[in-house]
Amino acid sequence: MKREVLTLPVEGMTCASCVTRVEKTLKRVEGVEEAQVNLATEQVKIQFDPEKTDIRNLAAAVEVAGYKLVLPKKTVTSGSTAAVSGLETEELSVQEQSYRELKKKFFLSATLTLPVMVISMIGMTDWFMRASPLSMDDINKLLFLATTGVMFGAGRRFFAIAWKLARRFTADMNTLVAVGTGTAYVYSSIAVLFPHWLSLTNVSDHLYFDTAATIITLILLGRTLEARAKSRTTDAIKSLIGLQPKTARVRRRGTEVELPITEVVHDDIVVVRPGERVPVDGIITDGVTSIDESMITGESLPVERTVGQKVIGGTINKHGSIEVKATAVGQESVIAHVVRLVEQAQGSKAPIQTLVDKIAAVFVPVVISISIVTFLLWYFVGGLSFTAAMINFIAVLIIACPCALGLATPTALMVGTGLGATRGILMKNAESLERAQTIEVVVLDKTGTITEGKPTLTDIIPFNGMTQDSLLQMAASVENRSEHPLGQAVVEHVRRKGLALKELEGFQSHPGLGVAAVVGENAVAVGNDKLMREFSIDLGTAEEVVSRLSSEGKTPIFVVVNGVLSGLLAIADTIKPTSKEAIAELKKLRMKVVMITGDRRATAEAIAREAGVDEIIAEVLPQEKAMHVKTLQNTGAVVAMVGDGINDAPALAQADVGIALGTGTDIAMETADVTLMRGDLRGVVQAITLSKKTVATLKQNLFWAFIYNVIGIPVAALGLLNPMYAAAAMAFSSVSVVMNSLRLRVARI
């Protein structure tokens, strides 16, 4: 079965019930497997079978529901190099257009409402009537005309959507506004145009044009401020998209030509001068420099890069001029991958949103019922006049609009995931972000996670009159023929010191033991203790040194020259400089830290002591890591697994939260719920802190979204709330939720 996924803007959504309606409408279309709406971005992610339906059918269904699906002007395929991310430019422009349209409507509404308010407040005073050349009937008709402009000019959208929904026997926030303001407007209009119908003696005492116009204006003000604030929640995406240069200087046919970034292809040689952004992902073929990768990894200090090392597109070349061979362009680039992950996370729903959606599905019908009961009780039981009961009816409708409810969760998640992206923390989805704050146990892989992941020569101990340099030259000359990682660590150390390797003869490899050869006139053997027993070498007092090195987590290598033990070399996978600090921070967060490794227990214990880990699981086969994670989960704990290798992928998948280091393999990053763009364990602390602060903000938002309704509805029903104050409270509830989410942008993590 074919499957296509599209993310498209939706116009006309205003509250949580709109979200539910659009999702249900799309899911009813044959061929649609999933539909997820994000009110903060005003987008819907649709997964469907293109053989059963198409984009026009989807748009038609949304149109019937009372909303508009904005279709792309052109199709951008996943392999295109024309844009960093499919529809981002168009989506952002739609959002900007929406803000500008709202701003125009607000200013139109405010311009017409201001005289209505002023005349309603002072227009009926004796001195005004004496000074005015117009009669009271003329003034009332002017109020009618100005309010009509507000209702069906600036406020037309509320009534248009409410009418479409009414035809389908459904309702949303637009229905509440339309019914509330429409009731006040219609009643006042009848009083002005047909006063005899209502048997009114003083028409001016029964006009509520100022109420209707002010409610529309205040709601439009709230929407305008909300749209402006919501656009700031996508700043992270905008900044990521803006990282990629528009052009690149490419070497072709022996000359440098400046080309649009869309024309750069694989294996092109790109010239990058000091101070310029690297246009593409690639490998340095010439030059040495330092690269500022802070915008991708969150690492503030520039990193040294030389021939053969990778660079990421969008990073800044600080000093030297370099030439880069393009290995990834367009949608294949790191920036495109990051943007996709952030968009995916921002468009997903947190588990807590399910509860909000269920509430929103019944909220509007319940509110309409409460408002009708309020009117009936006040009119028939409370003894209020029709107009007074109507005002209470309107106040209940207006204060109950669930706009903030729909924005509470997505705005917090958008800002949180955006902040994470700027710090090199990529969340796969909203569920991962929400779950990370519940972590109780953090399982750390040793090699490449706590440690550097590559063996390093740490100790050089010569015996029997041998010098350190001679010992190194002998050992490295033999190990140069070997491909074993421990031997290569010795060779690399010798090369860094500038020592020359010697010619050798008769090279022999002893698998699992070591190597041997004749170096000059000397027979040299380099290997482990088993090789020493094989060659019947007397270790003498070296056994004490070997015991000490092993207790420190180091692997001893014996060097024998002409049948005599001439020295020891120690190899260790050293811990990263930041690992100890990160583990200490995790403990401060009251988390249990466990190290898991396939190394022997003595080595694991030594690393654990140095890093500050209290519990270790050693001598574990790769396929057993997931089993040990499951054992920890069976104790009832929420477990996070942190790793970077292919052998960590099953454990990352098994864990409640899998965290992959971006310096590791692609399969680990694809399996994990969270990806850290740099190989630094402090990112784990940051990810958990980010999750805690985002979820805290989300809960604050939900509190404020509900409190307006929980307090406001009873107050309005009791006749203690003027509809205009209700409109102001409702409008600014949405703004307060978005602004509270935006506080996350400056949070310390």
Shared-domain flag, residues 463 and 568: yes
Task: Work out whether the CA dihedral 291, 293, 294, 300 comes out positive or negative.
Answer: negative
Shared-domain flag, residues 525 and 441: no
Q: Calculate the CA dihedral of residues 648, 652, 655, 658 and round it to 10 degrees.
A: 130
Shared-domain flag, residues 580 and 436: yes
Residue 180, domain member (yes or no) = no
Cα separation of 669 and 595, whole Å? 20
Structural contact between residues 710 and 404, judged by C-beta atoms closer than 8 angstroms? no
Mean pLDDT of 123-130: 55
Q: Which one is predicted more confidently, 482 or 150?
A: 150
Nearest to 222 by CA among 687, 742, 724, 730: 730
Structural contact between residues 5 and 45, judged by C-beta atoms closer than 8 angstroms? yes
Pick the last residue of a domain from 641, 658, 688. 688
Q: Considering the chain, what is the average pLDDT of its residues?
A: 85
The number of folded domains in the chain is 4
Shared-domain flag, residues 467 and 566: yes
Measuring CA to CA, how many Å separate 618 from each of 405, 444, 654? 49, 12, 19
Residue 199, domain member (yes or no) = no
Question: Exposed, middle or buried: residue 515 (CB in 10 Å: 0-12, 13-18, 19+)?
Answer: buried
Which CATH number belongs to the domain containing residue 325 in this structure?
2.70.150.10
Q: Which pLDDT score, from 0 to 100, does residue 568 have?
A: 94
Shared-domain flag, residues 479 and 581: no
Shared-domain flag, residues 583 and 682: yes
Q: Is the pLDDT of residue 3 over 50?
A: yes
Shared-domain flag, residues 621 and 658: yes
**Three-class DSSP category at 220:** helix
Q: Which pLDDT score, from 0 to 100, does residue 206 have?
A: 67
- The residues annotated with a catalytic role in the active site are 445
Work out the end-to-end distance of the chain between its first and last CA atoms, rounded to an integer number of angstroms.
Answer: 44
Q: Would you place residue 94 in the very low, low, confident or very high pLDDT band (cuts 50, 70, 90)?
A: low
Q: What percent of the chain clears pLDDT 90, i.e. is strictly above it?
A: 32
Which CATH number belongs to the domain containing residue 49 in this structure?
3.30.70.100
Structural contact between residues 162 and 175, judged by C-beta atoms closer than 8 angstroms? yes
Residue 27, domain member (yes or no) = yes
**Three-class DSSP category at 643:** strand
Shared-domain flag, residues 563 and 484: yes
Cα separation of 480 and 486, whole Å? 11
Residue 22 sits in which domain range? 4-86
Shared-domain flag, residues 261 and 280: yes
Question: Exposed, middle or buried: residue 25 (CB in 10 Å: 0-12, 13-18, 19+)?
Answer: buried
Shared-domain flag, residues 481 and 544: yes
Shared-domain flag, residues 584 and 511: no
Mean pLDDT of 630-652: 88
Residue 608, domain member (yes or no) = yes
Pick the last residue of a domain from 27, 54, 86. 86
Q: Is the pLDDT of residue 710 over 80?
A: yes
**Each residue's pLDDT tens digit, 363-422:** 888 888 999 999 999 999 998 888 889 999 998 988 877 777 778 888 888 889 888 888
Q: Is the pLDDT of residue 600 over 90?
A: no
Residue 626, domain member (yes or no) = yes
Pick the last residue of a domain from 68, 86, 104. 86
Mean pLDDT of 717-745: 86
Measuring CA to CA, how many Å separate 479 from each of 493, 517, 519, 657, 661? 12, 9, 11, 42, 31
